[in-house]
Structure 1
């Protein structure tokens, strides 16, 4: 560990201790979904899929999110008719799936706000999903779900700024469940088991297809396509497109949570002038869906598959928690 990693760790542990000492607790179960690394591990599609599974089981999930780069400070309920500049790209994506989403930097305050606005009482089966919550110690969580990218794992196993780790690797033991996302990486699973992790599941990518502005399916049919995105793991996006009947004639990678200016839009249009389709991720699409782009703008729709056993384990946990609190 070099001096920069040591400095990062020093500030990290100091902040964690301070926030744990003033941790607050909501009157309903809180499940954290987060990761140890920077970059995309599929938190948003996982949170969407997980919330839908809870709804199927009769629960009322509410996603508490910081809403990175969204201008609204909150707490505020995110609706699908908002724009990404105000709500943030990922909260807007989740709201567009018909889920209850509350944005706010203080997740405890956001939870209290949600209880009041949605009128929750002891008769409701409310569950709060703490989006990107592994490092949000200000709010007590009853269950920690840790996501690990099935392509990247933990990279070089170094802390920021020398590597991708936001938290020390030994904090893997604070996770009650681990999901390897995007790819069923058995080698990574074996490494996690060797490290001491116990409950490990897979949540692989499921390609739903290509959608146009109106959400209708577009048939690839060997069309020439230009791909672009501003996400944490650009390669996984390209890998998904490579499985479709498309001819990728060009691609452009942007930084995560990219803000698309008019200048950037014109640059993309120029790069894609020989293509029939302009394909991006849904996360990027929600930020530019009202802008005019040529050729036809569309997005890749993907989801993460969460196996029935892991869902059943979480439901059992919630039932036990309710019994213990009674």
Structure 2
């Protein structure tokens, strides 16, 4: 067993280092060639192959595109990794539900072991559910139990199920910008203002799933993590110049509370200010999460980043417990998305951060845009 755990530890360490290397290649500092300069000829060749395959797949998808008898809102991004789609999907689902719409969320379910069309349960132990449905669908179902979450590679079939079983009028297509086989009524594209395009190259040379020109396909662009006015302004000016007339709205992700577990007692921020904590996250760019904790005044003794969607087995648990002992930490803090992937023993001792999407002064304008777009097609009842 010790030998097995040692192997798993090294697998975890290799994945962490490979993920870090890739991110530094995709998002290099200014005037830097990045750490993979020797691999650039190969990566350029692979990028061209990816571009050819992308054009072929998109042409095929457009020919097979089908429409559902509901209003489909797609949330997606241009790059791999996180731009805040899950918090945005929850924000949108809550608004539509509160406005009286019968709404459902459709997700592919990243990392799930089966591909059948299924509804994600809104209760029960999360780790077994993550293995069946993926971490983000499980989190959304847990946070919005009144809005059914359906998973399946074929979003058309998932949508049919949501309409048939829940009479859904509006379908939120999670991570749907590249899913061209399903007709959508509204395409909302999310861009992270901290670094919206990375090095500007396609996978695997860069983080882009599609060329930047694909932004023209979106009905509106949502600039996420828009905390820095200078960076947000720079991105907005670029988009206005390159895509004139495109509606653009800015929002930020605000930590509204820290709590024990996912639904336990809320903990005051003062509770953390003078006691050491260990933070960890297996998300696309964990540094942003760590920085958000520092801004709250949390005293971080250690920060551990894992690959996006990484499972937490014995090796990862041992790494975390070692960090807690060495730092003499009072708290172990992670994201809600990481929480649902944790074994029950770890879930009982971690603190999570609850995020909220905040459009600030632009919220009224974005809601007006959203409601006007839905009203154009009148899927069932007025807003």
For normalisation by structure 1, the TM-score amounts to: 0.93
1:89 maps to which residue? 135
Q: Which residue of 2 aligns with 1:207?
A: 255
Q: Is this contact kept in 1: 2:159–2:171, CA < 8 A?
A: yes
Residue aligning to 1:189:
236
Note the alpha carbon deviations across 1:15-67, whole angstroms, 9 max, x for none: 00011101111000111100110111000001111111111222122110001
Give per-residue Cα distances to partners, 1:97-151, cap 9 Å, x unaligned. 2232101110000011111221x2xxx6x10011000110111111110000121
In terms of Rg, which structure is larger?
Answer: 2
Q: In structure 1, what is the equivalent of residue 26 of structure 2?
A: none
- Displacement, 1:289? 5.6
Q: Which residue of 2 aligns with 1:68?
A: 110
Q: More deviation in 131-140 or 192-201?
A: 192-201
8 A Cα contact 1:47 1:131, kept in partner: yes
User: 2:220: which partner in 1?
Assistant: 177
Residue 135 of structure 1 aligns with which residue?
178
Cα separation, partners in 2 of 1:9 and 1:210, compared to 1, 3 Å = same
Do residues 301 (structure 1) and 350 (structure 2) align?
Answer: no
Map of 1:148-163 to 2, 5 A cutoff? 148-163=191-206
Q: Shift of residue 74 of structure 1?
A: 2.7
- Aligned length, in residue pairs: 319
1:260-315 Cα offsets, whole Å, 9 max, x none, are 11221121111112100000100001111612468x31111112124121122111
Structure 1 partner of 2:95: 53
- Matched residue, 1:290: 344
> Matched residues in 2 for 1:37 and 1:317: separation?
25
* Aligned partner of residue 290 in structure 2, secondary structure: helix
| Aligned-residue CA RMSD (Å) | 1.9
Query: 2:322 aligned to 270, 279, 289, which one?
Result: 270
Match of 2:290 in 1: 238
Q: Distance in 1 between matches of 2:181 and 2:170?
A: 17
CA distance in 2, matches of 1:245, 1:159: 37
Question: Which of 33-42 and 96-105 deviates more?
Answer: 96-105
Q: What per-residue deviation string (whole Å, max 9, x for no partner) do you get for residues 139-182 of structure 1?
A: 11111100001212111111111111001111000000100001
- Is the CA contact 1:230–1:256 (under 8 Å) kept in the aligned structure 2? yes
Distance (whole Å) between structure 1 residues aligned to residue 299 and residue 179 of structure 2: 42
Cα gap change, 1:265 to 1:203, in 2 (>3 Å) = same
1:228 aligns with 2:280: yes
What is the deviation of 1:86? 1.6
How far is 1:84 from its partner?
Answer: 1.6
Partner of 2:302: 250
The yes-or-no answer on 1:13 pairing with 2:55 is: yes
Deviations 1:71-97 (A, max 9, x none): 342311112225222221100111112
The equivalent of 1:113 in structure 2 is: 161
Give the secondary structure class of the aligned counterpart of 1:288: coil
Contact conserved, 1:159 with 1:165, CA < 8 A, in 2? yes
Instruction: State how far apart, in whole Å, the 2-side matches of 1:254 and 1:109 are.
Output: 33
Cα distance between partner residues in 2 of 1:322 and 1:275: 55
